[in-house]
Each structure stands twice: as structure tokens, then as C-alpha cells.
Amino acid sequence: MPPTTAVSASSSFTLFRVPSSWSTKLKPTTTYIQIPNRFFPKHPTFKMTTTTIRAAVSIEKETPETERPPTFLRESDDKESSSSSASSVRARFEKMIRDAQDSVCQAIEKTDGGGKFKEDVWSRPGGGGGISRVLQDGAIWEKAGVNVSVVYGVMPPEAYRAAKAAASDEKPGPIPFFAAGISSVLHPKNPFAPTLHFNYRYFETDAPKDTPGAPRQWWFGGGTDLTPAYIFEEDVKHFHSTQKSACDKFDPTFYPRFKKWCDDYFYIKHRGERRGLGGLFFDDLNDYDQEMLLSFATECANSVIPAYIPIIEKRKDTPFTDQHKAWQQLRRGRYVEFNLVYDRGTTFGLKTGGRIESILVSLPLTARWEYDHNPKEGSEEWKLLDACINPKEWI
């Protein structure tokens, strides 16, 4: 989840294992980065295994800042934004995620009626930075985190040459990359009010002009998904209908495609069940017009409030029992399991020295694990579990 600092929960960074066939090209003690699933140009002889190995890649330590800057872009990017379409996308995506952070935080505070977000601003020596906002133990939300980041980094040249199946006499230097994203997880107190996660990100390689065989590449990723402890079909239908409306403005195939992708991604393999009731998820998206995908990501981010807040308004004051709360805590345990075991952004951040408070902001304040707990068949708890095991078409 994302996404977010680019190394925080639910972002799109992944480590990959070096195949044995690359042993003469890549150092076995070095960790290379896959960002995201298809960071490198597709090539018939190139395959990756998304598994975690010892981290030798590190992220520069952040520097706390007292004020939010107007932009986290490097000065060169900022100057180029008026003349370069690629840099312009960087600037407009940063503006979009910062606007989305503001609007979501304002909506959360207004609905909560008492809680306020704590804000931390940070920068990195090599460029970029982020804003982490967390509302904790409010009237409605147990924990709500909304993070944005802009990060600059470098990809090892050996990995790029191997990925491109480049000739051994080509000697490209390190390949710079740029990543920006927003990531949020919202955990309400009331067990009848659902948790929400959303994450939207943009990524580019930005190869130097003297780097042979390394053109600039880009893609978008993200999604929004709902994780309730109890099913209210009208709530789930409202959520999915809002997501579908956002998709249908651009391509009628998006919703069914990204809904299935979401069901498949948020799968807890060791439990044989999904984390929640799905929504949208997409990654490595670059086979459409760049301007269209920027608009699509913006539309998705702007759909978060109308998709979610009406559900919270309806359920936040519903009376509940200790049994209801205990079931919510068990489902929160599943949330923790997915994020710490499978989420690519979380595992990358933990292994590369990212900002730990931002990385773990997705975790709830409280969760529960009971030994061999099985809800009674036909109960409301069982209905939720059944929907997590057998994904449904809600609309």
C-alpha cells in the first residue's frame, strides 16, 4: 500500500533476486530494485523473481523541515516544467497529490469533528521530500494517515544492462529515477465503519544524455480499496459504483480489469483469503496516452472522498458490542499480516532504511490474533470471510 513516501506502505517498490544466469554480470551481494513490477523494458530473455534479499540499496536519510515548500521538485525540474512535457507531468502530478492530501485531510477532520492531523515535513539531500500527516485516536478514526512524497534515486547500471540484454561493451552509468506518490490508510473506530486504503504514484527513469540504450520511461500505478469488518451491501455497491464511474470516463474496460487486479493483489496467500472487498488496483500502466493516464489518476484520487465519506457518515455512530469489536480486531490482524508480509512498499521500506514512521503508518493502533478462530457458518462474520475468500461482483 502504499505507496506515501515512495518507500512507505503500499507504494510500488520491490526488490528482486538476481537469477543464476546473471551471475557473471551482477554482484550476488548487491540488492537491485524493481520499481514496480516491470521497471525494466520488457525483453523475452528477462525475467524477475519478486522476493526479498539482503538490502545493499539505501535511501538517503531525511532532513526534518519546519515549513512545507511550494514544491519538492529539483530546481532543474521546476524550470523545465514549462517547456518539457515530461517534467510538466512531474510538476502536475506533484500538485495533484498535494491537493488530494489537503482535500482528504480536510474531509477527515470535518467528519471526525475533533481530531487534527499531526504533520511532519521532510526533505532529502539529493532532492525531493515529503509530507506525512497522521490523525490518531480521534472521535471517529482510530488512526488516519495521508502521506505524499517526491523521491529521486539511482538504479545500478549493471541491472539496467542485464535487463536490456545490452552488449557487454556498452557502459551506461547509473540510471536516475524519479518517483512521486500519495498513500493513505484510514482506520475508523466503529467496527461497522470500513477501513480505506488508497495510493497513486508516478514513476520515471531519467537517463543522462550520454547513457546509451537507456531512454526515459514512465508509468502510473495505484488504486483504492475497501476493507470492512461487516458487509453492508449498499455501502459496498456505492463504493464500487463510484470507482466504476471514475474508470468509465476513460475506458469501459478499466473497472473490470482493475477490480480483478485488486482482488488478486490484496490476497493473503497463507490464509487463502483477500484482505477486504476490493476496489481498483493497477501498476506499470504506460500503454496509453500519458496525458490520459495523468487525468485518470487524478480522477481516481478525486473519487476517494465521494466513495468513502458517505459510508462513514452512515456507519460511524452505529451501536456495537464487544463481539463486534473483537471481530474488527481480528480483521485488523489480517490487515497487518498482508502489509508486513506481502505489501511491496512496506517490505522495501523496511529493508532500505526508509522513514519508519511513514512506512508503518498503515498499521492500526490495535489488532488481535486468536488461536484457530472460525466464525459460525451463516453469521455476519462468516459472510464477510466468505466474501474475502470468494470475491464477488458488487455491481
Which residue has 472521535 as its cell numbers?
A: 139
What's 99's DSSP letter?
Answer: H
341-371: pLDDT as tens digits: 999 878 877 876 778 888 899 999 999 999 9
Cβ contact 185:361 at 8 Å: yes
265-300: pLDDT as tens digits: 999 999 999 999 999 999 989 999 999 999 999 999
Which residues, other chains included, contact 225 with Cβ-Cβ below 8 Å and sequence gap of 6+?
A: 196, 197, 198, 262, 266, 275, 276, 277, 278, 279, 280, 281
Q: C-alpha cell of 24? A: 557473471
| Structural domain containing residue 98 | 63-78+86-389
- The band of 45, judged by pLDDT with boundaries at 50, 70 and 90, is very low
Residue 333 forms part of a structural domain: yes
Residue 10 forms part of a structural domain: no
3-state secondary structure of 177: strand
Share of the chain above pLDDT 70, in %: 74
pLDDT at 23: 36
Other beta carbons less than 10 A from residue 286's beta carbon? 14
Q: Rounded CA gap, 254 and 155, in Å?
A: 31
Residue 38 forms part of a structural domain: no
For the chain, what is the domain count? 1
Q: Of the spans 18-27, 67-76, 159-168, which averages the highest pLDDT?
A: 67-76
Give the CATH number of the domain where residue 243 resides.
3.40.1500.10
Residue 11 forms part of a structural domain: no
> 212 vs 151, which has greater pLDDT?
151
pLDDT at residue 63 is higher than 70? yes
pLDDT at 177: 82
Cβ contact 241:32 at 8 Å: no
Residue 223 forms part of a structural domain: yes
State the average pLDDT for the chain.
82
Residue 71 forms part of a structural domain: yes
Residue 23 forms part of a structural domain: no
Residue 42 forms part of a structural domain: no
Rounded to 10 deg, the angle between the 233-248 and 304-315 helix axes is 170
Catalytic residue among 197, 238, 240, 324: 197
Q: Rounded CA gap, 63 and 86, in Å?
A: 27
**Range of weakest confidence among 148-162, 172-186, 283-297:** 148-162
Catalytic status, residue 238: no
